[in-house]
Structures are given as structure tokens and as C-alpha cells.
Homo-oligomer: A and B are copies of this chain.
Amino acid sequence: MKLYSYWRSSTSYRVRAALNLKGVSYETVPVDLVAGEQLSGDYAALNPARGVPVLVLDDGTALTQSMAILDYIEATWPDPALLPAGPVARAQVMAAAHVIATDIHPVNNTRVIRRLSESFGAAEEQQAAWMCHWMAQGFAAVEEMVSGDTAFAFAEAPGLADLCITAQVYNARRRGLDMDPFPNLARIEKNCLAVPAIKAAHPDNQPKAKGAVWAA
């Protein structure tokens, strides 16, 4: 399998961490979002939505959208489970993951920040303030949704919410967000990064694209 991804993309980070936790091997194909490689015709043929990550299976099937890819990974390699078995518990873990995946990440995506600059002349510090606003608001919700009594968000082992949280906290630290109001999330990130499979998925451990300046 090939994972088309960008080293700093938090959606790529989530998927790398899941594959690593399941012990699934894959080849990384870096896509330089800053250079606009995702806008090329070849890439658009792989993913009409022109984003990362894309997981290309051995038969050539291209799976897109990180949350859909994570669903495929969970269904195909169920062990260790990233979601609990009961529908209610499962929906609660998914809800925390989706605050990150819908309320925070998309609003701070590279293309959205670029559009803010193009349409409204948002300067660099206004871009950072925009990103931190949505992270602080979403994190406040997730901080309440997760457990304060377990090592990870909902259990003693990392699950789907933990992977989404850890990848987003990387962005938050990069943008200078004060993490003091979010002790649960800080603990979850710390415990996740103590897991070698997740640590190996960290942006610093990926092949880097040159001159990267945008979060993705």
C-alpha cells in the first residue's frame, strides 16, 4: 500500500498512527502541499478533492478522506481496536474525534487560510489568531468530552479520538496555543507520544517537504 501524505498534515498523521498501531506496513509518498503538488492533474485523478491523505491499496484502489480511510483500516485490521464495540460507546469516541475532524481541522486547513488571505487580506498574525480561535473552542469541548480518569481519552489504550487529538495538539503547539486550559488533552498527547507506533507517525519523523510553512 502507498500512503500519499504530507509530513505536517494532521489528517495524514492520524492515518499513519492508525496503520502503525495495527502493524500494517505502507510506503509513504510525500505530497508537497506548499508547492501545490495536490493540485496537479495526476494527483486530482487519484483524489478529486485534491487533499491528503490518500491510501492506495495494492490493487490500485485509492481511498480518500482520513475519517473514511480510518474506517477502512479499523474494518480491515481490527486488532488493536481503535473503537469500542458497543454502539453508544463507539459513537461517544467518534464524537470527540469529530470535534477535531469537523469543527477544528477543516476550518484551519491550508486552502481555507489561503482563502482568508486572498479574500480578506488576512495577515500572518490574523491567520494564526483564526487558527487558535477554532482550536481553543474545539479543545474546550473535547476536554469536557474525554475522561480524566484514564491514560487515554476513553480507555487505557489509544483509540480514534486519541489519534485525532494528538495530531491536532501538534498543530496547536506549533501555533503557540496555550495548552494550560486543556490538561486532559495534554496528558493524552504525552501518553500517545510514549507509544512507539504513534511516535513514529509524528511529523518530525517523516520525510519532509521543502519550505513548508502551512498547517494542513
Q: How many copies does the complex hold?
A: 2
Q: What are the 5 tightest A-B residue pairs by CB atom distance, in nearest-first order?
A: A68-B94, A49-B141, A120-B120, A72-B91, A75-B87
- Across the interface, which residues of B come within 8 angstroms of A101, CB to CB? 102
Q: Is A69 an interface residue (CB 8 A)?
A: yes
Q: Interface code A49-60, partner B: CB below 8 Å = 1, 0 otherwise?
A: 111000001000
Q: Is A150 an interface residue (CB 8 A)?
A: no
Cα distance, A92 to B62, chains bound together (Å): 9
- A residues at B contact (CB < 8 Å): 47-51, 57, 61, 63-65, 67-69, 71-72, 75-76, 87-88, 90-92, 94-95, 97-99, 101-103, 105-107, 109, 112, 115-116, 119-122, 126, 129-130, 133, 138, 140-142, 144-145
Minimum distance in angstroms from A128 CB to a CB of chain B:
12
Given A49-B138, A88-B72, A141-B48: A99 in contact with B133 (beta carbons within 8 A): no
- Across the interface, which residues of B come within 8 angstroms of A107, CB to CB? 106-107, 109, 112
Cα distance, A92 to B112, chains bound together (Å): 24
